[in-house]
């Protein structure tokens, strides 16, 4: 045994599991090279933006109180705008999460009587209450903003005819979710998003095209804002926070869209001028700097898991060979014991809380018990190696993240080891 293999063994990875993992990894070298090439491009993109915006040591300090003339905050927003190639950006700790960023972008850019169109099917769960698809206090529906949806066709393509027929006088904003989230539809590539935006703008040029960019940042060398999106919106507790941002969301887009969002986040008249950054700026900058390589680690993790579990007879989405457009991996186990063992294995490999054993529980808002593995530095962070599994058929786990590839590899091997130890799978 090599020294490395001995260390793995002392941390609970058997020789069989280690060697099976190594064999799988040999086949992934070429794909990992292309992931590294994307990360290299995006790393340079971020560094160039930081240099051009003249990020200085003083930018890393925060402000308190009203936060007038917050140099670090204003410069960070310039960095985001430069990376996303947009006129402006709003990047704030006062935006509490991805849902909040999306709700802010919608509520600030729509007026009573307007209509939203989602041409890519049902949006992310939490947006149902924002829009009012599920009745909810304060939803857009309560402000007389209506919603229309056109589903993808069964083969995953756009229903262009249906989209055309749904665009009307009231249509003011088209919302496009890049990642499949926790659905089974395909994730959209930046190219496909560009085609969709071009189609929509051809019919109605002044419509606002917003992209929910969650989990998609830095997966490709281009972002949806490079192919016509008026606004890209996301969470700093995912890819662009690089694992360091302790809170936050962003909206990058046209000057007008961002100004509307700022007026809603703070107040009409105050807009971007207030909002103290407190002590988070250094982590925002450093996290954004690390984000391209962190995203690459998470991608390698997702591909490793797909390739590790697929030959063992489990359905994986995306499959072992598919091109990736986000960092989420689903694995269908078909029985609750395996879902639990998988999540407990991921937890046992974590840097934080590895000694606790997650159990399924009745989470608010879910119709079945859910088990979650999250040994994270930032609570609930899903750019860190994490997994959750609803305890109901088809007994699938959704798994994502990994701040470093080597941690992700270890965590995934721990998950497989947990299944092996419980006799739920045998290594070929």
Report, in Å, the least distance between residue 124 CB and ligand PLP: 4
Report, in Å, the least distance between residue 113 CB and ligand PLP: 26
Measure CA 283 to chain center: 18
If the CB atoms of residues 72 and 389 are measured against ligand PLP, the closer one turns out to be 389
Report, in Å, the least distance between residue 360 CB and ligand PLP: 20
Tell me: cis bond preceding 394? Omega within 30 of 0 counts.
yes
Look up residue 348 and give its two tokens: 């046992």
If the CB atoms of residues 196 and 348 are measured against ligand PLP, the closer one turns out to be 196
What b-and-e string marks burial along 119-147, b requiring 16 or more CB atoms within 10 Å of the CB? bbeebbeebbbbbbbeeeeebbbeeebbb
Report, in Å, the least distance between residue 297 CB and ligand PLP: 18
If the CB atoms of residues 166 and 400 are measured against ligand PLP, the closer one turns out to be 400
Report, in Å, the least distance between residue 403 CB and ligand PLP: 17
If the CB atoms of residues 72 and 123 are measured against ligand PLP, the closer one turns out to be 123
* Residues of this chain that bind ligand PLP (CB under 6 A): 97-99, 124, 126, 177, 179, 181, 212, 214-215, 235, 237
**3-class secondary structure, 277:** coil
If the CB atoms of residues 157 and 379 are measured against ligand PLP, the closer one turns out to be 379
If the CB atoms of residues 126 and 354 are measured against ligand PLP, the closer one turns out to be 126
- How far apart CA 130 and CA 173 sit, in angstroms, is 15
Report, in Å, the least distance between residue 237 CB and ligand PLP: 6
What b-and-e string marks burial along 308-337, b requiring 16 or more CB atoms within 10 Å of the CB? bbbebebebbbebeeebbbbbbbbbbeebe
Report, in Å, the least distance between residue 303 CB and ligand PLP: 19
If the CB atoms of residues 205 and 365 are measured against ligand PLP, the closer one turns out to be 365
If the CB atoms of residues 345 and 390 are measured against ligand PLP, the closer one turns out to be 390
Count other Cβ atoms within 10 Å, centred on residue 289. Answer: 18
Sign of CA dihedral 78, 243, 332, 319: positive
Report, in Å, the least distance between residue 179 CB and ligand PLP: 4
- How far apart CA 371 and CA 408 sit, in angstroms, is 19
If the CB atoms of residues 312 and 371 are measured against ligand PLP, the closer one turns out to be 371
Report the relative pairing of strands 370-374 and 315-317 from DSSP bridges: unpaired
Cα pseudo-dihedral 19, 25, 27, 29, rounded to 10: -140
CB 395 within 8 A of CB 338: yes
End-to-end CA distance of the chain: 20
Report, in Å, the least distance between residue 227 CB and ligand PLP: 18
Sheet of strand 231-235: strand arrangement: 88-92, 249-253, 231-235, 208-212, 171-177, 115-118, 146-149
- How far apart CA 149 and CA 170 sit, in angstroms, is 14
If the CB atoms of residues 63 and 235 are measured against ligand PLP, the closer one turns out to be 235
Is 87 buried (19+), middle (13-18) or exposed (0-12) by CB count in 10 A?
A: middle
Tell me: cis bond preceding 318? Omega within 30 of 0 counts.
yes
Report, in Å, the least distance between residue 189 CB and ligand PLP: 15
Report, in Å, the least distance between residue 232 CB and ligand PLP: 12
- In the bound complex, which residue of the shown chain has the CB atom lying closest to ligand PLP? 98
- How far apart CA 196 and CA 162 sit, in angstroms, is 13
Place of tokens 């995934």: 412
The secondary element (H helix, E strand) that includes residue 306 is helix 281-309
If the CB atoms of residues 124 and 395 are measured against ligand PLP, the closer one turns out to be 124
């Amino acid at each position: 045994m090599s020294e490395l293999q001995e260390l793995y063994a002392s941390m609970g990875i058997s020789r069989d599991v280690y060697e099976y993992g190594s064999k799988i990894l040999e086949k992934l070298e070429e794909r990992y090279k292309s992931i590294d090439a994307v990360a290299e491009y995006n790393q340079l993109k971020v560094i160039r933006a930081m240099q051009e915006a003249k990020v200085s040591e003083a930018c890393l300090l925060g402000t308190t109180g009203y936060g007038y003339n917050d140099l670090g905050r204003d410069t960070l927003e310039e960095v985001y705008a430069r990376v996303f190639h947009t006129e402006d950006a709003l990047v704030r700790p006062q935006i509490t999460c991805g849902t909040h960023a999306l709700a802010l972008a919608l509520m600030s850019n729509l007026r009573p009587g307007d209509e939203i169109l989602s041409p890519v099917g049902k949006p992310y769960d939490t947006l149902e209450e924002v829009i009012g698809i599920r009745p909810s206090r304060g939803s857009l529906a309560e402000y007389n903003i209506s919603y229309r949806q056109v589903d993808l066709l069964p083969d995953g393509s756009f229903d262009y005819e249906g989209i055309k027929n749904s665009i009307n006088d009231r249509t003011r904003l088209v919302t496009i979710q890049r990642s499949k989230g926790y659905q089974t539809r395909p994730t959209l590539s930046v190219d496909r998003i560009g085609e969709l935006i071009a189609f929509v703008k051809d019919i109605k040029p002044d419509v606002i095209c917003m992209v929910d960019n969650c989990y998609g940042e830095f997966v490709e060398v281009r972002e949806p804002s490079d192919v016509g999106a008026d606004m890209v919106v996301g969470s700093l507790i995912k890819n662009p926070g690089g694992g360091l941002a302790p809170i936050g969301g962003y909206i990058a887009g046209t000057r007008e869209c961002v100004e509307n969002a700022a007026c809603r986040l703070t107040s009409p008249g105050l807009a971007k001028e207030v909002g103290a950054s407190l002590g988070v700026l250094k982590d925002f900058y450093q996290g954004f700097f690390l984000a391209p390589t962190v995203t690459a680690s998470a991608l390698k993790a997702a591909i490793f898991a797909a390739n590790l579990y697929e030959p063992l007879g489990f359905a994986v989405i995306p499959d072992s060979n598919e091109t990736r457009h986000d960092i989420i991996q689903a694995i269908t186990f078909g029985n609750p014991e395996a879902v639990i063992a998988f999540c407990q294995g991921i937890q046992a490999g974590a840097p934080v809380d590895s000694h606790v054993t997650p159990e399924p529980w009745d989470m608010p808002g879910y119709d079945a018990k859910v088990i979650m593995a999250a040994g994270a530095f930032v609570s609930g962070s899903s750019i860190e190696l994490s997994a959750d599994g609803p305890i109901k058929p088809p007994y699938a786990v959704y798994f994502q993240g990994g701040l470093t590839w080597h941690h992700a590899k270890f965590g995934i091997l721990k998950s497989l080891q947990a299944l092996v130890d419980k006799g739920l799978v045998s290594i070929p």
